[in-house]
């Protein structure tokens, strides 16, 4: 290999120099690893500084010392539910086979346990014993080789999470190692899994990490308290709450990591929320949007899952389903007394901002669809029976034929009296292409249904029909909801 391509380790001071001081400044370097980044911000919180860049040798050692002191508190606890036993219980998910939970723990005295913990977390005495290789994360001089005891599961279990026979492990510098020790302070642990929120937006990451560290330290102080079982999608909901409580624009996507490093059931699941979705959800906390947000959240509910929790889940997994679920909810709200739910008018500002900001639908095309919806609404409201409206909804189901519906109704629009200044063509070519040829045709068609409901609501349309006809319409609404979200419509 040519000399210029050889991997080199930055030269450091000679033997006898502290492994921490030898690294220079900044002491803690943010890397491409989400867990290392979260841990770095957790270290900053433990040290009482705002950003990892502000950590110097003194504050860094203060943070590491605080973590070690928390672990030492477990030495007098026989089990996790005893006083001081929080980190003992958490250790099985984070640091299996470590000095805090050895097989022989029950036969050790508190003093022996403390000695093992302090030895495990001790700072390297000097640079003399360093392996002479770069840190896997930051590229600076590593202080040693490390394995599962210190390194959390950072990839799928399809990848080996233990040190292979004959392999020395993963080289890490002491600050990156300490960051991996610190990330559990920024995690929410329940059900044997730790949930960690990461973002490349440092300002947001700093705020949510600070809040998580405070919460974790409070829980550790109070001990394990058996509370109510978390509801569906509790982790995703916690992210949504954090987003809506943030006062600045979100500049990067969010990543929710749910992991366990345990020996029995190691796992890692990662979900990403795009920046446009995150920023749109954050904007719903503005004063002018708060009441509308509550209505939107209610439209996402199922009998099994509360609306806000399902909104949070869909924001991660299927953002387009938010619009589809809202339309399905409105259709299912149809009754003999209120055929067009008032929510159709209330939701309009958020729905259209969602189309612009999240689905990135062109604003001019959105207005075209709204104009088309007004023409469709004018056609449907000519009849005070629910039948024509029912046929329109049926045409919008997966088994329906919206194209044929427009072809049939286009003739009615042309030959029958229509509103003044209305164009003679019901479905112009550009509108046709949006509904049937665009790569996001399904979103355009659902937006059309919503806009038709909005237009009928604005017109005050209240047809008269039998209960049987209205029940059929509700059944169709269930079908529309199931078609769009891929979830049960009950």
CA 365 to chain centre: 30
Considering the domain architecture, whether residues 176 and 74 belong to the same structural domain is answered as: yes
Considering the domain architecture, whether residues 356 and 290 belong to the same structural domain is answered as: no
Which of 122, 107, 22 minimizes the C-alpha distance to 67? 122
Alpha carbon distance 378, 372 (integer Å): 10
Considering the domain architecture, whether residues 29 and 123 belong to the same structural domain is answered as: yes
Rounded mean pLDDT, 162-180: 80
Considering the domain architecture, whether residues 346 and 451 belong to the same structural domain is answered as: yes
Considering the domain architecture, whether residues 263 and 351 belong to the same structural domain is answered as: no
Lowest mean pLDDT across 50-54, 122-126, 461-465? 461-465
What DSSP character marks residue 184?
G
Considering the domain architecture, whether residues 300 and 423 belong to the same structural domain is answered as: no
Q: Is residue 331 part of a domain?
A: no
Alpha carbon distance 405, 385 (integer Å): 18
Find where tokens 């097989």 sit.
Answer: 103
Q: Is residue 313 part of a domain?
A: yes
Alpha carbon distance 21, 12 (integer Å): 10
Which two structure tokens, joined as six digits, stand for 35?
């867990």
Considering the domain architecture, whether residues 356 and 303 belong to the same structural domain is answered as: no
Q: Are 187 and 194 in contact (CB under 8 A)?
A: yes
CA 272 to chain centre: 6
Q: Is residue 13 part of a domain?
A: no
Higher local confidence (pLDDT), 181 or 155: 181
**Mean pLDDT over the full length of the chain:** 87
Which two structure tokens, joined as six digits, stand for 23?
């690294």
**pLDDT at 339 > cutoff 90:** no
Which two structure tokens, joined as six digits, stand for 160?
């080996």
Higher local confidence (pLDDT), 384 or 252: 252
Structural domain count of the chain: 2
pTM: 0.86
Q: Which of the four pLDDT bands, split at 50, 70 and 90, describes residue 167?
A: low
The predicted-structure confidence for 5-47, as pLDDT tens digits, reads as follows: 444 444 444 445 677 777 778 899 999 999 999 999 999 999 9
Considering the domain architecture, whether residues 340 and 278 belong to the same structural domain is answered as: no
Considering the domain architecture, whether residues 343 and 298 belong to the same structural domain is answered as: no
Considering the domain architecture, whether residues 277 and 384 belong to the same structural domain is answered as: no
Residue 63, Cβ neighbours under 10 Å: how many? Answer: 24
Q: Is residue 42 part of a domain?
A: yes
Residues found in the chain: 490
Domain containing 255 equals 20-224+231-317
């Amino acid at each position: 290999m040519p000399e210029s391509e050889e991997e080199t380790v930055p030269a450091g001071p000679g033997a006898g120099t502290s492994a921490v001081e030898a690294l220079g400044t900044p002491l803690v370097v943010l890397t491409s690893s989400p867990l290392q980044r979260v841990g770095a911000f957790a270290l900053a919180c433990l040290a009482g500084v705002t950003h990892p860049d502000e950590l110097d040798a003194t504050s860094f050692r203060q943070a590491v010392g605080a973590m070690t002191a928390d672990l030492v508190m477990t030495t007098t606890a026989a089990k996790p539910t005893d006083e001081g036993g929080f980190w003992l219980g958490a250790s099985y998910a984070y640091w299996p086979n470590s000095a805090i939970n050895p097989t022989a723990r029950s036969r050790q005295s508190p003093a022996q346990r403390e000695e093992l913990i302090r030895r495990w977390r001790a700072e390297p005495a000097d640079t003399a014993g360093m392996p002479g290789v770069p840190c896997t994360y930051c590229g600076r001089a590593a202080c040693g080789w490390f394995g599962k005891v210190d390194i959390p599961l950072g990839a799928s279990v399809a990848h080996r999470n233990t040190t292979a026979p004959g392999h020395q492990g993963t080289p890490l510098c002491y600050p990156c190692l300490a960051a991996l020790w610190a990330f559990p302070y920024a995690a929410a642990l329940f059900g044997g899994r730790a949930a960690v929120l990461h973002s490349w937006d440092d300002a947001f990451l700093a705020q949510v990490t600070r809040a998580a560290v405070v919460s974790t330290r409070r829980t550790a102080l109070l001990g394990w308290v058996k509370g109510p079982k978390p509801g569906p999608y509790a982790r995703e909901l916690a992210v949504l709450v954090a987003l809506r409580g943030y006062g600045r624009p979100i500049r990067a996507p969010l990543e929710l990591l749910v992991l366990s490093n345990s020996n029995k059931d190691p796992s890692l699941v990662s979900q990403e929320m795009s920046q446009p979705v995150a920023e749109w959800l954050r904007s719903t906390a503005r004063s002018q949007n708060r009441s509308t947000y509550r209505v939107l959240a209610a439209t996402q509910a199922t009998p099994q899952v509360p609306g806000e929790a399902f909104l949070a889940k869909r924001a991660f997994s299927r953002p387009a389903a938010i619009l589809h679920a809202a339309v399905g909810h409105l259709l299912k709200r149809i009754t003999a007394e209120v055929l067009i739910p008032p929510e159709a008018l209330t939701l309009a500002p958020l729905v259209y901002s969602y189309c612009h900001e999240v689905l990135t639908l062109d604003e001019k095309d959105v207005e075209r669809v709204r104009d088309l919806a007004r023409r469709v609404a004018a056609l449907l409201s000519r009849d005070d029976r629910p039948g024509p409206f029912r046929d329109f909804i049926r045409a919008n189901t997966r088994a329906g034929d919206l194209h044929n519906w427009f072809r049939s109704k286009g003739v009615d629009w042309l030959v029958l009296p229509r509103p003044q200044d209305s164009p003679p063509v019901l479905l112009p070519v550009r509108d046709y292409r949006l509904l049937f040829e665009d790569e996001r045709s399904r979103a355009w068609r659902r937006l059309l249904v919503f806009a038709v409901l909005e237009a009928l609501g604005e017109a005050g349309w209240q047809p008269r029909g039998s209960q049987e006809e209205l029940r059929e319409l509700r059944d169709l609404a269930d079908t529309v909801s199931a078609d769009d979200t891929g979830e049960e419509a009950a």
